[in-house]
Amino acid sequence: MYSFKNDYSEGAHPKILNALIESNLEQEDGYGEDRYTQKTVELLKEKLGRTDVDIHLISGGTQTNLIAISAFLRPHEAAIAASTGHIFTHETGAIEATGHKILSVEVEDGKLTPSHLQGVLDYHTDEHMVKPKLVYISNSTEIGSIYKKDDLKQLSEFCHQNNLILYMDGARLGSALCSDENDLSMEDIPSLVDAFYIGGTKNGALIGEALVICRDSLKDDFRFHMKQKGALLAKGRLLGIQFLELFKDNLFFDLAKNANRMAGMIRDELLKENIKFLTHSPSNQIFPILPNSVISELQENYSFHIWEKVDSNYSAIRIVTSWATKEDVVIAFITDLKKVLSNLVTK
C-alpha cells in the first residue's frame, strides 16, 4: 500500500537528519536563541532580499496561523478567508478560540480577489458587526491553485488602500513557487504581503514553519505571543537547524520541484486519458475525477483522500506528492491506473 494521502507521510530529508546529528552535542541556548536559528534568520533575510523583516520559527501551520492572527488583530477585528481556507474549517476553530471571527467567502478556485474583499467590507458597516481587518490567503491553496504575481499585486493594493493586513499561509509555498505556472519569486513576497510563512513540514522538514513579518507595526513583542501560545520550543535549535539545511543550498526548492514534477507526471497522463479534474492545479496536489469503481480498485494498492462526490458515479480524489515521492512509484501508479481505466472501457 502506497500513500498519496499527503506530503507529510515520511520523516525528513536525510540531509536534515544529518544536520541534526552533526550538531547534536553542541550546547545551545534555548527558545530560539541558539546560533542555528540566528543563522537561519539571517540566511532567510538574504534570500528574501530584505534585512528589515522579522522572522520566527514555529512548529506547525495551525500554531503559526493562530499566533500570527491573534497577535495582529485587536479583539473586535476579524479575518477574511475563502471558505476553502484552512483556518476556516480545518483548524478546529483555532482562530475563534483566540476570540476572532472568520468571515468566509465562497470562491471557485480557492483564491480571494479584491472584489470578494470589497463585498465583505461593504457588508460590515458599523459596530454591531466585527471589523474586517486581516485577509488570509494560502499559496498554494488548499485545492492546489496558486496566486500569480498579478493576483497578489491586486490584493496587496486593495489591502493597502483599505487598511487591511494581508497574510499568506505558505504551508505549501515551496510547491507554489516551483510551479510551472508561477511567476512569483521569494524576493517579491515581502513587498506584497504584510506577513507570511514558509512551510517546512510539508516540504521535507520534520516540523517547522518560518513566519516572516514584513509590516513594521506587526513586529513588536512577537516572541511574547509565541511563548504565550506554547510555541517557543526549549530546543528551538530543532527548527533552526532544519531551516538552515533547507535554505543553505536550495534544498527547499529542489524538494518542492520533485513534488511538483511527480504530480505533473500523473496529471499529464490523466489528461491524455481525458480524465477531468475538479480544479486547475499546477502544484503538488491534484484532484482527478474518477469513476467510483476505478477509485475502489485503486484503493487496493494506494491510499488517498476521496475529496468530494461529483455525482452518483464519479468522485474527485486528492493525490498529493511530496519531496519523498519517487519516480518509480509514480510510474507504477500511472500504469496501474491506466490498467484499471482500460478494464473499465472493455467491461
Residue 291: beta bridge partners? 314
- The least CB distance from residue 257 to a second copy, in Å, is 19
Grid coordinates in use for 81?
Answer: 478567508
Site string (17-56) toward a second copy, x via CB under 8 A: x--xx-xxxxxxxxx-------------------------
Nearer to a second copy, 184 or 307 (CB): 307
Site for a second copy in 298-337 (CB under 8 A): 324
Binding a second copy (rule: CB under 8 A), the pick from 213, 233, 263, 294 is: 233
Site for a second copy in 74-133 (CB under 8 A): 74-76, 78, 89-94, 96-102, 127-131
- Report helix, strand or coil for 78: strand
Is 68 a binder of a second copy (CB under 8 A)? Answer: no
Grid coordinates in use for 227?
Answer: 511563548
CA angle 235, 240, 242 (to 5 degrees): 110
Is 60 a binder of a second copy (CB under 8 A)? Answer: yes
Site for a second copy in 203-222 (CB under 8 A): 206-207, 221
Residue 122 CB-density burial (10 A; 0-12 exposed, 13-18 middle, 19+ buried):
exposed
Window of 58-66, 143-151, 269-277, 311-319 that interacts with a second copy by CB under 8 A: 58-66
Grid coordinates in use for 337?
Answer: 491506473
CA angle 77, 187, 182 (to 5 degrees): 90
Site for a second copy in 135-174 (CB under 8 A): none
Task: Report how many residues bind a second copy under the rule CB under 8 A.
Answer: 76
The CA distance from 78 to 100, in Å, is 5
How far from 264 is each of 2, 117, 257, CA to CA, in Å?
18, 32, 10
Is 271 a binder of a second copy (CB under 8 A)? Answer: no
- The least CB distance from residue 13 to a second copy, in Å, is 9
